Amino acid sequence: MPICIPDTLPAVDVLRNENIFVMASSRAQSQEIRPLKVLFLNLMPKKIETENQFLRLLSNSSLQVDIQLLRIDQRSSKNTPTEHLNSFYCDFEDIKEQNFDGLIITGAPLGKVSFDDVIYWSKLKEIILWAKEHVTSTLFVCWAVQAALNILYGLPKMTREQKLSGVYSHNITHPQATLTRGFDDSFLAPHSRYADFPSDVIRDKTDLIILAESEITGAYLMATKDRRMAFVTGHPEYDSFTLANEYFRDIQAGINPTIPENYFPENNPQLEPKAKWRSHAYLLFSNWLNYYVYQLTPYDLKTRNLTID
């Protein structure tokens, strides 16, 4: 089944050119199907690029998914046209009385910024706490994981001295877990962050189950026992060139970044990188939609109290 998005969203043409089944909202309204309602809070600067990356992964499922794009506030964006934001994104006040099957909160380039200095911190906290009552399952990605660990568990901001950038191997810790069903015992995933997620701290200070980790990256996949929240500390949604684009951008900015590990062939930035994590990324999102959203959510979202005990 397809993902359902607005007819004129740029991702429609992008995904169809990749032979991905996309259903425009005009057609979906004529079908007698209860699609999954997934809210997508996009905190990344390049909104359209991020939309394409996540919508691509959400498309690889037998479930029909109705996507609602959400912005954190109405501030103008340097990287996304205001017309695009006004046309396709809603504000929290527009949907806060509704219930949703799923919520995805993306990362943000705020690795070195104190939580108190994040201009939308109070609004983000409101949305995360709101989700406990209004969303069946929430998926946090990269910086959003760090924010959620502080808001939900009181963990302080933990920051690495050097940016973690590259493609790293991770090991499954619970072979029977539904979120990692079908994964290889070890798999690759990209990271690009200053945030630190030491496995021992997660185990000691939270009730989260670590589903995949590595000595280099720390905890990679985590979840609550009731599957109502899942946490991904890396960027499985990244395209093959995303890390390269970040690397060359930082060079132009005079940051003198290190070469992303295990990414460029022969560690040579002049050679074209290849995505080595794509199958894992598709499977991760398919498992989340099936086992954490579809299998848990009520048919009628209006008739059930979604409060997490």
Q: Strands 186-195, 159-172: parallel, antiparallel or unpaired by DSSP? A: antiparallel
Indicate the annotated binding residues for substrate.
Answer: 163, 192, 249
Alpha-carbon distance of 133 to 207, in angstroms, equals 19
Question: Is 237 a residue of the active site?
Answer: yes
Alpha-carbon distance of 218 to 199, in angstroms, equals 5
What is the Cα 222 distance to its own chain's centre?
Answer: 13
Write down the catalytic residue from 51, 213, 237, 246.
Answer: 237
Question: Is 142 a residue of the active site?
Answer: yes
Please give the biggest Cα pair distance in the chain: 56
Q: Strands 229-232, 218-223: parallel, antiparallel or unpaired by DSSP? A: antiparallel
Question: Is 174 a residue of the active site?
Answer: no
Give me the sign of the Cα torsion angle 187, 287, 4, 94.
negative
Alpha-carbon distance of 136 to 242, in angstroms, equals 31
Angle at 93 between CA 91 and CA 96, to 5 degrees: 110
Write down the catalytic residue from 134, 170, 191, 235.
Answer: 235
List the structure tokens of 55: 């919508």
305 closest CA partner among 133, 137, 126: 133
Write down the catalytic residue from 4, 51, 134, 142.
Answer: 142
Enzyme catalytic residues: 142, 235, 237
